Amino acid sequence: MIAQDLIEQPGPAKRDAAAGTWHSQIPDDKEMLRAAVELTRDIAVARPEIYWPDMLGSAFVGYAGLAAAILSTNPLAALACGLLAALALYRALLFIHELTHIHKDALPGFRFTWNLLVGIPLLIPSFMYEGVHTQHHARTRYGTIDDPEYMPLALMKPWSLPVFALTAILLPPALLVRSAVLVPLGVVIPPLRKLVWERASALAINPQYRRRPPEGEFARMVFWQELGCSIWAIALIAASQVYGWRPLAIALCVVSLTAFLNQVRTLVAHLWENDGEAMTVTAQYLDSVNVPPPAMLSPLWAPVGLRYHALHHLLPSVPYHALGECHRRLSAHLGRNSTYARAGYTGLMPLLTRLVRNTMRV
């Protein structure tokens, strides 16, 4: 979304067959696609008894840790509380991904409560993902120039990767300026309003993506969420004049760490090896990543079901809490030598190493 223009865009590139890459037009594995649908019908319903405690508990722990970090006079204790807050708020924030996929009537009140407790306080309301992420799942958009969430990172220069990850640290202060200054100014300066909406109102990584104006009921939702964010951002800046900048600075650091964690996760969510061609569903699956058990740390850096990101691209409407069972069923049914098993990886570091090596081959 912001600062992604700093990332160099690659020209056409040949992929090295020895690197284990594959052609974007690999035929669909119809057996896998059929099994994914047939074996998971009975667990494809969002369960409120899981969603609500998970989201509310994550938000509570996150804000409690943030408050402790701000109030603590011991630097080590403040650091530990800040790390806890970043991890918990990271999990709470990633429920925005679920909001883009669950049916609007599936969890009454969940979207409103999430925005009130997480989206607006962190200045990332749900409209920034809703209507954007679904384009990433569109059959003819994935991996192309029209995909807001795709960059061929494996085909770029090696220095593009640290730039991509570190720009996330700038996101919280940028969002504060956006909501406190740019959005209110946009009310009286239409060209600025248009620019902010097109370029700085979506959680997108493709610097060429331009967001279309909102319409109908969605436009009304955007208005109220924008209003809430602007009031909150202005209140934070005003409070800093009374209580000093330290609490706000600590909060920005915690949320910056959260944004950095998400950006690192994004680096390994896909293999990023497509050079702009439309892809079959199976090719999209194989360009995506599962990090299933026995990987122990993946629930921390890829929470709310995102450790099963490839599986999610097969079954985007299946709720996060069911993906583990979906994976077990498909693995048992299709076997270790199946197409399905080829999207499984052992952890974060092997994926990062693969990505870095691929950039060095370009």
Please report the pLDDT score of residue 126 as a whole number: 97
**Secondary structure of 49-101 in the HEC alphabet?**
HHHHHHHHHHHHHHHHHHHHHHHCCCHHHHHHHHHHHHHHHHHHHCHHHHHCC
Please report the pLDDT score of residue 232 as a whole number: 98
Please report the pLDDT score of residue 94 as a whole number: 98
What residue ranges do the domains of the chain occupy? 4-361
Nearest to 275 by CA among 156, 163, 140, 157: 156
- Residue 183 CB burial class (10 angstroms; 0-12, 13-18, ≥19): buried
- Is 255 within 8 Å of 160 (Cβ atoms)? no
Please report the pLDDT score of residue 361 as a whole number: 83
Q: How far apart are CA 81 and CA 38, in angstroms?
A: 45
Please report the pLDDT score of residue 11 as a whole number: 38
Q: How far apart are CA 174 and CA 201, in angstroms?
A: 11
Q: How far apart are CA 238 and CA 230, in angstroms?
A: 12
Tell me the CA distances in angstroms from 304 to 50, 312, 357, one per residue in order: 11, 11, 29
Please report the pLDDT score of residue 104 as a whole number: 79
Q: What is the pLDDT along the chain (362 residues), one digit of tens a residue?
A: 444 443 444 433 333 333 334 455 788 999 999 999 999 999 999 999 999 999 999 999 999 999 999 999 999 999 999 999 999 999 999 999 999 998 878 899 999 999 999 999 999 999 999 999 999 999 889 999 999 999 999 999 999 999 999 999 999 999 999 999 999 999 999 999 999 999 999 999 999 999 999 999 999 999 999 999 999 999 999 999 999 999 999 999 999 999 999 999 999 999 999 888 888 999 999 999 999 999 889 999 999 999 999 999 999 999 999 999 999 999 999 999 999 999 999 999 999 999 999 999 86
Alpha helices in the chain (DSSP H): 30-38, 48-71, 75-93, 95-99, 110-114, 133-136, 160-166, 171-177, 183-188, 190-200, 216-243, 246-267, 281-286, 298-301, 309-314, 323-334, 348-361
- Is 93 within 8 Å of 118 (Cβ atoms)? yes
Q: How far apart are CA 238 and CA 243, in angstroms?
A: 9
* 3-state secondary structure at position 152: coil
